[in-house]
Structure 1
Amino acid sequence: MRIRILWPAGQVTATLAATPTTEALRAELPISSTAVTWGEEVYFGTPVSVPRESTARQVVEPGTVAFWTDGDSLALPYGPTPVSRAGECRLASPCNVLGLLDGDPQVLRTVRPGDPIRVEPA
C-alpha cells in the first residue's frame, strides 16, 4: 500500500507493508492531524488505536514509517531524536514498523510544529 503525507511546505509518499497496523490505518484514510516535532522526527496523532506488534522496534532507519502505539501516532524519524545514541534514529518506545518513505527523508525538515498534516492513499 502507498500513502501520501502532505503539509504546507511539502509532501512525501511512502510504501507500507501489509501489517495489521497498516490495515487499521488504511481503514481510516484520509487522516488530518497536526504535526509535532521531536528532534529529527515528525509525529502526529491518528484515530487508529492498535496493540504493539511482535516486530515493533525502537531503533530504525531514517525514513521509516512507524506507528507509536503509546500515543496512537504515526512517527516519521529522519535523524536523531533526544533519546538517540551515536546518531541513530531512536523512537520514544518500540513502535510498529509499517514501511519506508519513498525518496529522501530529509524533506521532513520542512515540517514545522503545528503544521496541518494530511495522510491519504497515493
Structure 2
Amino acid sequence: MNFIEIIVDGKGSARAEIDGRNPRTAAEIMERLPQEARAQLWGEEVYFSLPFSLADENPSPSSEAGDVSFWTPGSAFCIFFGRTQPYSAVNTIGRIVSGIDVFPRVEEGDRIILRKGEG
C-alpha cells in the first residue's frame, strides 16, 4: 500500500491511501515527493499547484469527500473534503483515510507539505 502524508503547517495532518484508479498519475506524483506548496481554496476543496505537469489518464468529472486528485490543466493537487465538485475533470489517485477534519480549518496561503507516508 502506498500512502501520502499531507501536513498543514500549524493545523495538523492527514493520510491518503493511493488506489489503482490512475496508477500512472499516482506513480509520477509519488516519485516527485516531497513537495511543498501554499494552499488555495475553492468551496470544500483545498488545492495547490505542483511544479510539474502530467497528462490526463482516466479523468473523472466528479469527486467524493475524501478524494485526492490531480487536476491537469492547473498542475494542481486537489483534496476534496465536502460537496464541492472539480472545476473540470481530475485524475483521482486515492482517498483520505485519516485526518480529513484538518481541511475545513485550512486558510489561503497555509503551507502544505506532501511526503511519502509509511505503511
The TM-score normalised by the length of structure 1 is 0.87
1:32 counterpart = 2:36 = yes
User: Which of 48, 51, 55 in structure 1 is aligned with 2:52?
Assistant: 48
- Cα offsets for 1:7-47 (capped at 9, x unmatched): 12110010112511111111111000010010010001112
User: Which of 101, 108, 111 in structure 1 is aligned with 2:103?
Assistant: 108
Counterpart CA distance in 2 for 1:13 and 1:104 is: 6
Counterpart CA distance in 2 for 1:2 and 1:48 is: 20
Give 4+ residue runs of structure 1 displaced > 3 Å after superposition: none
Instruction: Give the aligned length.
Output: 113
Counterpart CA distance in 2 for 1:104 and 1:3 is: 12
2:74 is paired with a residue of what secondary structure? Answer: coil
- Cα offsets for 1:79-121 (capped at 9, x unmatched): 133xxxxxxxx10100001000013523211111100110001
Unaligned runs of 5+ in 2: none
Counterpart CA distance in 2 for 1:92 and 1:111 is: 19
Counterpart CA distance in 2 for 1:80 and 1:108 is: 13
2:56 is paired with a residue of what secondary structure? Answer: coil
1:102 is paired with a residue of what secondary structure? Answer: strand
1:85-100 to 2 correspondences below 5 Å: 90-100=85-95
Structure 1 104/11 Cα, relative in aligned 2: closer, same or farther at 3 Å? closer
The residue type paired with residue 11 of structure 1 is S
Identity of aligned residues (%): 31
The TM-score normalised by the length of structure 2 is 0.89
Structure with greater strand percent = 1
